[in-house]
Amino acid sequence: MSKPKLIVGNWKMNGGLSANQALIDEIKAGLGAVRCRASVCVPHPYLAQVQLLLAGTPIALGAQDVSIHAAGAYTGEVSSTMLRDFGVRYCIVGHSERRQYHRESEVDVALKAKQALACGITPIVCVGETLAQRDAGETEAVVKRQLAAVVHENGHCISEIVVAYEPVWAIGTGRTATPEQAQEVHAVLRAQIKAATPHHERVAILYGGSMNAANAAELLVQPDVDGGLIGGAALKATDFLTILRAASR
Ligand code: PEP
């Protein structure tokens, strides 16, 4: 039997104390007998609030970034130990918005994954090509290189990561990869994970990039799509619940 799918909401820099409460309350009310795994990755200041709101639910708490350092004079940074203090189970690393706006390198992303793993937090390692790279036929080389950096730094721990394929051109644009395009890249990533660890079956590969209530089912049915990383649609309870149900079939 295949493992339950994993649906992760990425709230990005959205939310507020009352909006978070309303969103989680509505998700909890509609959760019913959802059978997939689920998480929401919230901004750091809301970890404590959302930890309490999620208590007793099957939804795991997630964060959106972590420092490459363990502790010390790094003003503004948040360590993986701090995330663990709030019960964080997943942490996104290497989101394209951080690679682009904060110039995070492949080595940075690999070191962030390492910090998360050291604290028992599952890093959700994002990889993906830009439109120019896709048009130049470089998709496979780009995602393999991004994942290789994380494999290189993390050795046998690689079986404990989650990978998210997020084509940059599909994030927040309303332009989703077709199920065939997603499956093609997921198969490449699957082969790379298989070559890296005998425990490859533990590694979920999520698709992210304008996944929504309308297109989730056809993406999630692809053989190598183990779940989704959801941005915009994770901010609307009805849409997020529809995706959770599509992942529970
Ligand atoms: C994301 O931020 O990871 C993402 C996939 O965003 P969206 O679903 O809005 O494209």
Asked whether the predicted pLDDT for residue 65 surpasses 60, the reply is yes
Instruction: Compute the distance between CA of residue 44 and CA of residue 184 in angstroms, rounded to an integer.
Output: 34
Confidence of residue 131 (pLDDT cuts 50, 70, 90): very high
Pocket test for ligand 1, best of 229, 240, 243 (most atoms within 8 A of CB): 229
Count of C-beta atoms within a 10 Å radius of residue 16:
10
Mutation test of ligand 1: which of 14, 93, 166 has the most ligand atoms closer than 8 Å to its C-beta?
166
CA of 211 to the centre of ligand 1 (A): 7
> What pLDDT does residue 2 have?
73
Give distance in angstroms: CA of 72 to centre of ligand 1. 32
How confident is residue 1, by pLDDT bands cut at 50, 70 and 90? low
Does 208 sit in the ligand 1 pocket, CB within 6 Å? yes
Q: What is the pTM of this model?
A: 0.97
Closest CA to 249 of 218, 224, 205: 218
* Dist CA 67 CA 64 (whole Å): 11
C-alpha span between 152 and 149 (Å, rounded): 5
The full length of the chain comes to: 249
Instruction: List, for residues 91-130, the tens digit of each pLDDT value.
Output: 999 999 999 999 999 999 999 999 999 999 999 999 999 9
Q: What is the mean pLDDT of the chain?
A: 97
Query: What spacing in Å lies between the alpha carbon of 55 and ligand 1's midpoint?
Result: 25
Name the residues annotated as catalytic.
Answer: 95, 166
The pLDDT of 124-150, averaged and rounded, is 97
Using DSSP, state whether 50 is helix, strand or coil: helix
CA-closest residue to ligand 1 atom 8: 231
Q: Extract the tokens encoding 35.
A: 């059978």
Å from CA of 129 to ligand 1 middle = 14
Residues 233-242: tens digit of each pLDDT: 999 999 999 9
pLDDT per position as a tens digit, 202-227: 999 999 999 999 999 999 999 999 99
Nearest CA to ligand 1 atom 2: 231
